[in-house]
Amino acid sequence: MKLRRREFIKLSAAAVGALSLGGGAQAFMPNPFRGPPGKWFTREVSEVFSVCENCFWRCGVKVYVEGGKVRKIDGYVGNPKSNGMLCPRGHGAIAQTYDPDRLKRPLIRAAGSVRGEGKYREASWDEAFSYITEKMLAIKERYGTEAVAFFGHGTGDRWFAEFLPGAWGSPNAAKPSHSLCVAPRETASMWTFGRGIAGHEQIDWGNTDYMVLLGHHIGEDTHNTQLQDFAMALKRGAKLVVVDPRFSTAASKADRWLPIKPGTDTALLLAWLHVLVTEELYDRAYLEKYTLGFEELVKHVQEFTPEWAAAITDLPAETIRIVARELAAHAPRAVLPVGRHVVWYGNDTQRMRAFFLVNILLGNYGVPGGYYLSTPPVLPEYPHPPLPLTPAAGGCAGVGAAEAPTGFRPAADRNRFFGTATAIQELIEPMITGEPYPLKGLWAYGTNLFHSIPNVPRTKEALRNLDLYVAIDVLPMEHVMWADVILPEATYLERYDDLIGFSYRNPFIQARFPAVEPLWQTKPGWWIARELGIRLGLGEFFPWDDFEEYLDTRLRGIGSSLEEMRTKGTIIQRGRPFLADWEARGRNPFNTPSGKIEIFSQTFADNGFDPLPLYTPPAEGPSGYYRLLYGRSPVHTFARTHNNPILMEMHGENALWLNADEAAQHGLRHGDYVWLENQDGVREGPIKIYATQRIRKDCVYMVHGFGHQAPLMKVANSRGACDNRLITYYTLDVISGGAGLRNNFVRIIPGAPRPRHTPLAQLAERSL
Amino acid sequence: MPRYAMAIDLAACVGCAACSVACKLENEVPVGVNRLWIRSTELGTFPHLTVEYRPEQCLHCANPPCVPVCPTGCCYIGEGGLVLLEERRCIGCAACIAACPYDARYMHPAGYVGKCDFCEHRVRAGRVPACVETCPTLCRYFGDLDDPNSTVSVALREAGRVDVLRPELGTKPKLFYLNTPAKFGLAGNHQEVVS
């Protein structure tokens, strides 16, 4: 009998067991040293409603507390974001609260040290606030309030990227979730439908019969309810086509996989438009009733034949044709569901326009089986004086205000692009050049400056130029350890937050209640924002003392109360999901200049952009280089969860997906370690090779968020490699302000050492 | 007496590990060992590919090799056919770990053996195991095999294909895999030949 290693280990374990049995009768007695205590569920457990913060799907959860500790987190039935289910990140979030590496008390950078050295002294909250206030007022005095930029990501970004900058008077508030994520789709959607996509992508999965995923990675981005809806659609027998250079998880569920050449998606979409138009496979009644500019589209797409697209996309013309016909055969219950991270090549708004046009020809927008129309929740503000300005930080929630604030200079990223929401990466350059005006202060709330914003060396240079850099975070991330003042936020399980409302089929509002007391001297974001606001002379905008009273007042505005929320967790309102619902009330959902769906965009034409989308080929890489693609892991969120030992046990290191034939050419085998070097000579790694059939030969892929260089984060530090450090170059989408991040190329340098790390089990034992 | 079983629809599973993490927290399983894990296998050549995402855990065999080898009698077949382990009486001899052909048991760092018990505490209370409740792809079914109307019986009846891991061992698992992505069944099953 041939023994595999695993079996050998098992047998040797058995042998040890046999030896210990040699001790005699005691072996048969209950062992007093090993008796496991009763588990948490055998004792008294209390339940608290909350909203998960381990990704930004923000599922309503129930938190189980026993013995003063959070023991488990589950979804609950009655919450439209969880439906009683949860993803791995939601369950594993507990480990962040009890992470011994957390920021514990305010820190002020040691006198005489420079940013990035990581030398700090502990400070009281008062001392930290005084330090910030003094610097803020000095910047205001010398450069004006606009000279302070505010970056925010997460539920608390309402305070730090909207409310506080609005009260303070800076339009330079930005969220990575806009120009590094959804900006092109929101801009395209606004100028096509007069409505944003805004957060929860409004696909009527429950009624669709044919789905084409393009730039959508369900199963790798475990957006809880989206995954539920997708899985149910497949169970129902809906057909699935996946367009991806990589055989993604979703592709493994597909009836058809289209391994497209990266960067050529617009050509494919134009060819689909061509087939739908020339074969008259569109919904004529829908187009006549709701749209404007179809005639122009007919002329526009004549030359974009499947044969034309085949030469560009590396997909067979016949396949392109068949998919278009199948889409039409299932219309309007056929849909191209919009994905999230759409900043790829710099021409992304036009690609998203083409993407929406296919949906429009299928007649699915506002129709069952296609896109439903989401309705925002009704929830009044706590009464406060009007803010001096409303920053257009954008984000998943839409494109923001269009008007320049009166009495203030426009945001420092203006005139670089057409879109109205602020582009976070375009605020970096002004910190260095002082053009169009200086930015001398920066607040980073939950925004990982080095893992999200492209061109890390430039970001570091910008940070060196500031007069004040404040970081508010939970963990000592690399960028946090550059700040002048570090303010430790409590984790979501330890704090209230503002009410969280979602635009949805039937909109809803959910509340977060603290399950346990904050550990150490950590504080909730709302408390930090208010205390600082008061010290900055903005007390009039925070006319509440007690946050429970604040929440209760807002809830009373919709006939509820904090007490009701405490027992329900979620309040569901009523929406108008389909065009028929709007028409029944004589309302028009399309807030475009024409009041119709604009196939042809006169606004784009007036601003010097193509009024109908065109394909622009992306730049090719140097010979011997692969296009760098990146994506998500189902157990991680951005670069936020990599110090969580439970989640790291599930996925503790990213690998470089390399086509197996290419790997063989490099003499590389599965599991070998390599260095990566990008077109600008930046080296990253070591990273493990995943030699696979699941990717084309012209690109490589890695999961985003790994490769932290943060020695105080004992679990995350140096595990895996960082994609963002290789993204030194980006192509600005001049329409939306999005940063096209997939125009970077890497070459592979074999022979990197295999990294050594402390075992996760050992690190996990430190958990509180 | 019910005969509890679980079925996992591999056509739905995406290998996200929600089940695995839920299990860890529910059952206080320390980092380093797992009652439930995901095995993913890539099959085929470009562009004709498939990937099997397969959650694995104790199969609650009707004929479990782990039970008879236990010297203390702490491994037993409990109510409803659950293969259980009385941790308090376990001496950590690891005989059961060696006997399990599925690697479903582990040594807890405190010196006793652990394994999936289909969340016996929840099942007793009329609830489904934590992994079943939380799965966002709704790929898990749990219930009584002897009840033709139980969710698991219905799922088994309606499935296009039903497999168990290594049927040739005669262990009679009560963890079933439905609708394998590969036509030949479970990855690894067909090549699991002992020389």
pLDDT (0 to 100) of residue A652: 97
State which amino acid sits at residue A170.
Answer: S
A639 plus A594 within the same structural domain: no
A636 plus A755 within the same structural domain: yes
Both structure tokens of B190: 């067909």
Q: What is the CATH number of domain B4-188?
A: 3.30.70.20
What residues of chain B, 149 to 188, have a C-beta less than 8 Å from chain A? 181
A697 plus A598 within the same structural domain: no
A600 plus A630 within the same structural domain: no
Both structure tokens of B174: 């009560």
pLDDT tens digits, A85-94: 999 999 999 9
pLDDT of A34 over the 70 cut: no
Pairing verdict, β A468-473 and A485-488? parallel
Three-state SS across A661-699? HHHHHCCCCCCCEEEEEECCCCEEEEEEEEEECCECCCE
Among candidate residues A573, A606, A639, the one where a domain is terminated: A606
pLDDT tens digits, A36-69: 678 999 999 999 999 999 998 999 999 999 999 9
The answer to whether A9 faces chain B, any CB pair under 8 Å, is: no
What is the pLDDT confidence band of residue A414, given thresholds at 50, 70 and 90?
confident
A708 plus A597 within the same structural domain: no
Give CA–CA dist A62/A212, Å, rounded: 34
> Cα–Cα distances in Å, from A324 out to A241, A268, A354, A358, B31?
11, 10, 14, 9, 48
Q: Is-contact A474 A102, C-beta < 8 A?
A: yes
A664 plus A595 within the same structural domain: no
pLDDT tens digits, A180-231: 999 999 999 999 999 999 778 999 999 999 999 999 999 999 999 999 999 9
A598 plus A707 within the same structural domain: no
* Range A352-365 average pLDDT: 98
Pairing verdict, β B75-77 and B83-85? antiparallel
Q: What is the ipTM for the molecules in this complex?
A: 0.96
The answer to whether A224 faces chain B, any CB pair under 8 Å, is: yes
Assigned domain for A636 exists: yes
pLDDT (0 to 100) of residue B1: 85
Q: Which residues of B touch A637 (CB under 8 A)?
A: none
Among candidate residues A606, A639, A663, the one where a domain is terminated: A606
Q: Could you tell me the residue range of the domain that residue A688 belongs to?
A: 626-764
Cβ distance of A231 and B136 shorter than 8 Å? yes
A595 plus A732 within the same structural domain: no
A691 plus A746 within the same structural domain: yes
pLDDT (0 to 100) of residue A22: 36
Q: Which residues pair with A61 in a beta bridge?
A: A50, A75
Give CA–CA dist A466/A517, Å, rounded: 35
A249 plus A334 within the same structural domain: yes
Q: Is-contact A54 A155, C-beta < 8 A?
A: no
Cβ distance of B93 and A84 shorter than 8 Å? no
- Give the percent of chain A with pLDDT over 70: 94
A260 plus A320 within the same structural domain: yes
Q: Which residues of B touch A224 (CB under 8 A)?
A: 136
Q: Please tell me the total count of domains within chain A.
A: 2
In this complex, how many residue pairs, one in chain A and one in chain B, have their CB atoms less than 8 Å apart?
A: 211
DSSP A369: T
What is the pLDDT confidence band of residue A640, given thresholds at 50, 70 and 90?
very high
**How many angstroms separate the CA of residue A207 from the nearest CA in chain B?**
17
Q: Which 3 state secondary structure label does DSSP give A473?
A: strand
pLDDT tens digits, B57-79: 999 999 999 999 999 999 999 99
**How many angstroms separate the CA of residue B39 from the nearest CA in chain A?**
11
Question: Closest Cα to residue A729, out of A682, A764, A683?
Answer: A682
The answer to whether A21 faces chain B, any CB pair under 8 Å, is: yes
A261 plus A344 within the same structural domain: yes
**How many angstroms separate the CA of residue A217 from the nearest CA in chain B?**
11
Assigned domain for A253 exists: yes
Among candidate residues A548, A573, A606, the one where a domain is terminated: A606
What secondary structure does DSSP assign to A563-605, as a single string?
Answer: HHHHHHSEEE-----SHHHHHHTT-----STTSSEESS-HHHH
Assigned domain for A134 exists: no
Q: In this structure, what are the phi and psi dihedrals at residue A695, rounded to the nearest 5 degrees?
A: -145, 150
State which amino acid sits at residue A139.
Answer: I
Three-state SS across chain B? CCCEEEEEECCCCCCCCHHHHHHHHHCCCCCCCCCCEEEEEEEEECCEEEEEEEEECCCCCCCCCCCCCCCCCCEEECHHHCEEECHHHCCCCCHHHHHCCCCCCEECCCCCEECCCCCHHHHHCCCCCHHHHHCCCCCEEEEECCCCCCHHHHHHHHCCCEECCCHHHCCCCCEEEECCCCCCCCCCHHHCCCC
